Structure 1
Amino acid sequence: MTSSSRDLPAAELTVSLDWRDGAAVLRVAGEIDLLSAPEFEDVVDAVLADRPRTLVVDLREVTFFCSAGLQVLAAAHRRLAAGALRVVSVAAVTSGPLKTTGLDTWIGIHATVDEALRP
């Protein structure tokens, strides 16, 4: 398995990107709110421009997640093949909104990055 990593520009969030065999793993920490959601969207758009086979968004270090963050994930889902967007979340703060809105029926929620990377 090949892997590469780089930090992405983000002021309100801590974001890093790791590539694993054509899959982009985006690790996000901090709050995704109305102020930081456009920044989150810019980062996701930059990753999608590189055409990953799969996008794994690791939200385990996110402490607040609002509807604007859900909109970013929904838009990413529409741009990727079915099942290609996967979220890593173990906390209700991030998985709760996905489940409440029903987005979890299209976007898989996983406990670990390794689990999310499995075909």
Structure 2
Amino acid sequence: MSCPEQQSQRLTGRNNGLPLPSLAFFHLPLPEYNEVWNYHSCYGHNYEGMGCPNVNSGLFAAFLEMSDVRGVFVGHDHINDFWGELHGIRLHYGRAIGYNSYGKEGFARGARIN
């Protein structure tokens, strides 16, 4: 069992045996972002595709197994800002916030707050 799974079990134990609702934030999108965009309802924009790793680490599967992560938030691709739900977990893409990186003409800088 990996360290994130052990931490999830510790937090579940401290929460009277109930998974502690959690959010995950990181830079690169998981490969499952391709699945949610290609095969499920999504809301927002996908102007440049997903810069996901070629190898699936199994992190999303661990989130499902532990039943605690409710949402995942990523960036990396500055002109994507969609969200969709896969197996009960909402996958969110932020868009570029600052002005010191690339963007798209007519696509305002911003942040996701839902």
Q: TM-score range by the shorter chain?
A: 0.3 to 0.5
- Structure with the bigger RCO (C-alpha within 8 Å, sep 6+) is 2
**Which protein is bigger by CA-based radius of gyration?**
2
Normalized per residue, the structure richer in strand is 1
Normalising by structure 2, we get a TM-score of 0.36
